[in-house]
Amino acid sequence: MDEQTAGSAGKTADAHAPESLTRRNSRHQASGPRRGRRPVSLGPIPGIGTNPMGWGFRVTLGVLIALLLAVSLDSLAPVTFNICAALFLALALNPLVGMLRRRGVSRGKAVLLIALVFALVAGVFLAFFVPFAIRQGIALVLSIPAGLQSLATQEWVLDLNTLTNGGVESFLRTLGDTVGQTAFWGSVAGGALRLGGTLVGLVSSAVFIAVLTLYFLMSLRSMKRGFYSLVSASKRHTTIYLTEKITDSVGRYLGGMVVLAFFNALFSLLLLTLTGVPFAAVISLAAFFITLIPLIGTILTTVFMTIFALISSPTAGLIVLISMLIYMQVEAYVLTPKVMSKALEVPGAIVLISATAGATLMGLPGALIAVPAAAAGILIVRYIVVPQRSNQ
C-alpha cells in the first residue's frame, strides 16, 4: 500500500514538474554516459597480445603480401602507363567529341570520324615524314661536332672566348663531347621510348593505346555514371562536380598544349627556312615535342634553335633569337589566354615541380601528365579537404 502511494506520488510530481526540467531529464537519459568517462578496457585480444608467435606470424604475412603487391605493380607498370596514357588521350579528345555533338552528330559517329582523321594523319606521317625525319636527324647528329668546331673558329666567338678567359671554348668542347654520345640522344628521347623497349613493343603499345583510347571515348559517360553510382548519395553531388571539373580541365589542358606546340613548331619551321638554317624540318619536329614540356618548353626550344642557327651563321642566330623572344611574348599574352582560358589554373611553382617530377619518372609523357594530376590534387584539396577542416 505504501509502495503504491509512493509510486502514485512520484508520478504526480513528474506530472506537475516544469516542462523544461522534463525535457532536460529526457535528454540526459537519451545521451547515455558522459563523454568524459573512460571506456572500459576489454583486455588483450586473444591470439595477439597473449601469443607473441601468432602476432609475429601475422606481421610477417602482412609484409610478404605487401612485397608481393609491390612486385606485381612493378611488373604491371608498362600496362598501367598505357592505360593512363589512353585515358588522358581520351580526355584530350573529348572536347572535339563534344563540339561535334553540338553540331548534331551522334557520339558514335563523332568518335568514328575523329578516329578516321587521326588514322589518316598518322598514316601520312609514318609513310612520308618519318623516313625523311630519320634521315635528317641522323645527318643533323653527325654534323653537330663539325658545326661546333666551325663555330669555335668564328671571329665573334674568339673575341667572346677572350673576354671569358677560355670559358666559351671549354663550353663548346664539352657540348660537342656531350651531343656526340649516343647515350645523350637516348636520354632525350627516353620519354617516347618508354612506350616500348623495341620497335615491336612500340608498335604494340601504340595499337593498344589507340584502341583503348577509342573505347574510353565511346564509354566515357557510362564510366562516369558507374563511378558516381558507387559514391554515397550524401557525397554524390560534390563528387560529380569535382569529377566533371577535373576531366573537363584536363582535356582542355592537354588539347591546349598540343595546339600551342603545333603553333610553335609551325613558326619554327617558317623561321628556320627563311633564315636558311639547315635541317629545319627535323629541328621543328623536335621543337614540337620540347614545347610540350610545361612552363619551360618554349624557353628550351628558343635556346635549342638559337644554337643551331648560330652554327649556321651569326646573323641567322641573332634573327632566330629575336624572333623567338617576340614569339614567346605573343604566346604568353595572346595564344595561351585564348587556348587555356577554360583549362587549369595552377601556380607556376607547382607546374615546375610536378613537371620535373613527372619527367624524372616517365620522361616527356610524365611531364605532360604530371601537371593535370597536380591540378586535380589542388581541386580536391580546395573543395574537400579545406571545407572539412573548416567545419571541425
Give domain status of residue 199, yes or no. yes
Q: How many CB atoms lie within 10 A of CB 193?
A: 16
* pLDDT of res. 189: 53
* Sequence-distant (≥ 6) Cβ neighbours of residue 224 within 8 angstroms: 243, 244, 247
* pLDDT of res. 26: 47
Which phi and psi (to 5°) does residue 269 adopt?
A: -65, -45
Buried b (16+ CB within 10 A) or exposed e, 300-337: ebbebbbbbbbbbeeebbebbbebbeebeeebeeebee
* Sequence-distant (≥ 6) Cβ neighbours of residue 196 within 8 angstroms: 202, 203, 204, 205, 206
CA 137 to chain CA centroid, nearest Å: 28
Q: Which three cell numbers stand for residue 296?
A: 619551360
Give domain status of residue 257, yes or no. yes
Mean pLDDT of 219-240: 86
Highest-pLDDT range among 51-55, 316-320, 350-354, 375-379: 316-320
Distance CA 258, CA 268 (A): 15
Assign 52 a pLDDT band (cuts: 50, 70, 90).
confident
Give domain status of residue 160, yes or no. yes
* pLDDT of res. 177: 66
Sign of CA dihedral 93, 95, 100, 101: positive
Q: What is the pTM of this model?
A: 0.64
184-198 per-position pLDDT tens digit: 555 555 544 444 444
* pLDDT of res. 325: 93
The overall average pLDDT reported for the chain is 75
Give domain status of residue 49, yes or no. no
Are 387 and 372 contacting, i.e. CB atoms less than 8 angstroms apart?
Answer: no
Mean pLDDT of 143-169: 75
Q: If we measure between CA atoms, which residue out of 168, 235, 238, 229 comes closest to residue 383? A: 238
Give domain status of residue 59, yes or no. no
Name which residue leads in pLDDT, 26 or 212. 212
Distance CA 384, CA 389 (A): 9
**pLDDT above 70: residue 12:** no
Distance CA 56, CA 243 (A): 43
Distance CA 235, CA 386 (A): 15
How many domains does one find in the chain? 1
- Give me Rg for the CA atoms of the chain: 33
* pLDDT of res. 195: 44
Give domain status of residue 144, yes or no. yes
72-120 per-position pLDDT tens digit: 877 777 787 788 888 888 888 888 888 888 888 888 888 889 889 888 8
Are 319 and 295 contacting, i.e. CB atoms less than 8 angstroms apart?
Answer: no
Assign 341 a pLDDT band (cuts: 50, 70, 90).
low
Distance CA 345, CA 273 (A): 36
Give domain status of residue 118, yes or no. yes
Assign 202 a pLDDT band (cuts: 50, 70, 90).
low
Give domain status of residue 277, yes or no. yes
Domain range for 370: 77-384
